[in-house]
Amino acid sequence: MSLTDVLQDPKLTKPVLVKSELARLTDVLQAICTHWEKSGLRLELFNGVSLGHAAGATLETQQTYLHQLESWLATLQEHSPFHDQLVSQSRGMSLLDLEKAQLSSFLRRLGAKVDDSLFSEIHDGDVIEVYLFNADGTATQVYRNVAFLQMCSYDLLTLVSHSMQDLFRRPGEIEARMNELIADLFTSTVVKPVDLPAHEITEIRHPRHRKFRIRIRYAAPLFNETGTPIGFVSTLSAEGSGSVFDGASHVQPIR
């Protein structure tokens, strides 16, 4: 389904506003994908399902998607000189330092405060994610690093328009324990090791229902400038079912 097909759907109630916001969304998604192509990854921007879902969202919700994607793009562009140097010449800032700098830059753009000790707990190969809380108590991913992109099967628009709980299924006892750990996270401002066993998660909205075995290493609470809890950062290790380039993922190598 193309963007034009979605915009001409008679079921849409605000075609002019939806067209404007969706056009901006797809422009930002394209710019993000162009950035990652420089490092050899081709990402799926959206599909008919995710675009239709975004088209049916309120204007305020679409603007939230747009703001989050623009913040991520600005972060990637800010560090692109270092990124291009690493890819083409393998010198200068290390990949790990780049990961930390990008995360710090994104959090600054978000206006989020985090304990600085988090950055000493980020290691090579870690999956790094930032989640913000929704009004209903769920959390939506607003930042992800290359290790996440190499593992995940979802297109980018699906990631920003659905909550973590809507995208990934965990064993019931793990889900319950995670909720307890997240609540406990905000009893202080410090980074905490996550006392949770390695477990399996399933991509429940993807037709392949890919499974991963993950171990969450550390979590850090995020606060806004007034000290209100707004979300969290987590680092984890993950193993997927098969190679990221075997056709099971939306990530494809550049030929």
Question: Do 75 and 107 touch, CB atoms closer than 8 A?
Answer: no
Instruction: Find out if CATH 3.40.109.10 is the number for domain 3-253.
Output: no
If we measure between CA atoms, which residue out of 39, 8, 82 comes closest to residue 252?
Answer: 39
CB 48 within 8 A of CB 7: no
- Residue 15 pLDDT > 70: no
CB atoms within 10 A of CB 103: 22
Among 41, 37, 32, which residue's Cα sits nearest to residue 72? 32
- Computed on alpha carbons and rounded to an integer, the radius of gyration of the chain in Å comes to 18
Comparing 7-21, 69-83, 120-134, 197-211, which segment has the lowest mean pLDDT?
7-21
Q: What is the pLDDT of residue 72?
A: 96
Q: Which of 20-24, 43-47, 82-86 has the highest mean pLDDT?
A: 43-47
Task: Give the DSSP H or E segment for 202.
Answer: strand 199-203
pLDDT tens digits for 68-117?
A: 999 999 999 988 766 665 555 545 567 888 899 999 999 999 999 999 99
In terms of Cα–Cα distance, which of 102, 84, 105 is closest to 40?
Answer: 84
Provide φ and ψ at 123, rounded to 5°.
-125, 165
Rounded to the nearest 10°, the torsion over CA 191, 125, 45, 84 is 110
